[in-house]
Amino acid sequence: MGEPKLRLQGVSQVYEGARGETRALQNMDIDVAPGEAVAILGPSGCGKSTSLLIAAGLRVPTQGAAFVDGVRVAGPRLNTALILQDFGLLPWKTVAENAGLGLQIRKTPKRERAERVARALEQVGLADFADAFPAELSGGMRQRLAMARALTCDADLLLMDEPLSALDALLREEMQDMLKRCWCEQGYAQVLVTHSIEEAVYLGQRIVVMSPRPGRVVHVLENAEMQQENWRDADLFFERCRALREMLRDIVAKEEVAHA
Amino acid sequence: MRKHPVLGRIADYVFAIVFILAGWQLTAMAVHNPVLPGPFDAFPMVAQYFDELWPAFLVSLYRVVVAMLIGTVLAIPLGLACGRSPRADAVFAPILYFLYPLPKVVLLPVLIVLLGLADAPKIVLIAITVFFQVLVTVRDASKSVPEQSILSMRSLGASRLDIYRHAIVPATLPELFTALRISSGTAVAILFFAEGIAGSTGLGYFIVNAWALLAYPKMFAGIIAMALLGVILYELFDVAERRLTRWRRV
């Protein structure tokens, strides 16, 4: 692999709280190649989201560093898009204003902004809702709007923190298809943090499995077959989900024994 | 059938006015005392004393609008700073806890001695009262902006100013307008008190003077004008809120 798009190198994160120190991440190493889709899977509270915030330049790790294109991440980067669990939409802005917020902040000329927003909304199927407010959208539509915001910014690295966790099962599958389609069409590198095994197997070319807190990488599973047609219905998909489920159970059980 | 937004609102107001007038008339009939004339006796007085009432109304309107403007303009930045900066909050919160519950109206004698009997003490007194009400509301509202919205904006490269402009200020608007609507009632009450005690202009003076002369219908003309002042302010904030927080009614 040449220069990775994203590298997390020896990243550890300790939080100081009222109850003393909490070690969220311990010596985490991940490389994500340009155009690669990586899913980070692990139990709740294992530091998955923290690793994403560090990659986005929104948190400074206690130890180690994040690099994008070989450059140390010191703050938010214009071509890194972040989609959070609640999508981070602003309720007082319309769909078009939310989609174009990144461009507005970057002072992109109005005309160019309108064109790029219209194109992104078209891509995610929200062109008819440009003047609506987020409260008028369904959960799936809000997810698509968050995606449109990332698309307008011409992201080459998309970081997603459990973006589908609030959606029902059917809608979730629909949104997974959209995420995969956008990733295939746009060719950005993508890191998806999830606690859903099926989602990780469906959307990750590589699946990084993390231990319970303090989170560290305990296994990396190659999953290149995710680009197959009808991958969700393939026997290998189910087999991989089963294998991952057993692996996670083992990891959690070993940690419980270790902490007993 | 869906209610027409404007006609529906007018109908609501007509109903409210009829309800209040009926209650007023029934109470006046029950009390049967010149100190409480019914609406049919009081309203013609507004026309009769219009030449005296109109300048008093304008003076009171000027005082209350300027005072609310000063109080609000000073309170918003400080409220935002306290809400978003734990350091600023640590400095100002203890001061706020001591000063907020203090009835500001007791400062009137001090202000009269310091500032005289003209507009200044009335404007300052109302401004101080509004300042604290708006400050506390804006501070609490700006604290409640979801952290994910801020993180999401920061990831887009937003500066601190961008975050205030696009996320924090709009998030506080509904609570700000609620505070302003409540403050408008308090402001008019303080205005009445301040004008009634100090000076010889404004609706407060008009009412108290008529009361002293036992001119009850004239006093009621003043009361109606003062009520109108309160309604105008309330409606002004209501209209501004509806325009600026359109997203809340979808």
At residue A259 the predicted structure's pLDDT band, cuts being 50, 70 and 90, is: low
Q: Is residue B25 part of a domain?
A: no
Domain of residue B181, CATH code = 1.10.3720.10
Q: Is B245 on the interface with A (CB under 8 A)?
A: yes
Q: Is residue B98 part of a domain?
A: yes
Model pLDDT, residue A3: 87
- Rounded to an integer, what is the distance from CA A129 to the centroid of its chain? 25
Average pLDDT over residues A235-249: 92
Q: Is residue B45 part of a domain?
A: no
Mutation choice for A interface testing from B156, B244, B245, B250 by most A CBs within 10 A: B156
pTM of this structure: 0.82
Q: Is residue B240 part of a domain?
A: yes
Average pLDDT over residues A146-172: 87
What's the complex ipTM?
0.82
Q: Is B25 on the interface with A (CB under 8 A)?
A: no
Query: For B178-195, how does the pLDDT look when each residue is reduced to its tens digit (9 = 90+)?
Result: 999 999 999 999 999 999
At residue A132 the predicted structure's pLDDT band, cuts being 50, 70 and 90, is: very high
Query: Min CA distance, A205 vs chain B (Å)?
Result: 25
Mutation choice for A interface testing from B152, B163, B175, B241 by most A CBs within 10 A: B152
Q: In total, how many domains does chain B have?
A: 1
Q: Is B174 on the interface with A (CB under 8 A)?
A: no
Residues of chain B contacting residue A132, judged by C-beta atoms under 8 Å apart: 250
CA–CA dist B32, A86 (Å, integer):
63
Query: For A14-30, how does the pLDDT look when each residue is reduced to its tens digit (9 = 90+)?
Result: 988 777 888 889 899 99
Cross-strand bridge partners of residue A209: A41, A219
Q: Is residue B190 part of a domain?
A: yes
Model pLDDT, residue A260: 64
Q: Is A87 on the interface with B (CB under 8 A)?
A: yes
Q: Is residue B16 part of a domain?
A: no
The answer to whether A201 touches A207, Cβ cutoff 8 Å, is: yes
Average pLDDT over residues B208-230: 92
Q: Is residue B28 part of a domain?
A: no
Average pLDDT over residues B114-136: 93
In this structure, chain B runs to a length of: 250
Domain extent, residue B160, equals 52-249
Q: Is B181 on the interface with A (CB under 8 A)?
A: no
- Are B157 and A84 an interchain contact pair (Cβ–Cβ within 8 Å)? no
Alpha-helical segments (H) within B116-168: 119-143, 147-155, 160-163
Is residue B177 over pLDDT 80?
A: yes
CA–CA dist A62, A47 (Å, integer):
13
Q: Is B171 on the interface with A (CB under 8 A)?
A: yes
- Are B151 and A82 an interchain contact pair (Cβ–Cβ within 8 Å)? yes
How many CB atoms are closer than 10 A to CB A182?
Answer: 21
- Are B155 and A90 an interchain contact pair (Cβ–Cβ within 8 Å)? no
Phi, psi of B49 (to 5 degrees): -100, 15
List, in order of start, the domains of chain A with CATH numbers: 1-19+31-79+163-260 (3.40.50.300), 89-154 (no CATH)
* Three-state SS letters, A64-91: EEEEECCEECCCCCCCEEEECCCCCCCC
Query: Min CA distance, B68 vs chain A (Å)?
Result: 26
Q: Is residue B171 part of a domain?
A: yes
Nearest to B148 among A77, A86, A135 (CB): A86
Model pLDDT, residue B147: 85
Nearest Cα neighbor of A83 from B165, B148, B146 is B148
Q: Is A215 on the interface with B (CB under 8 A)?
A: no
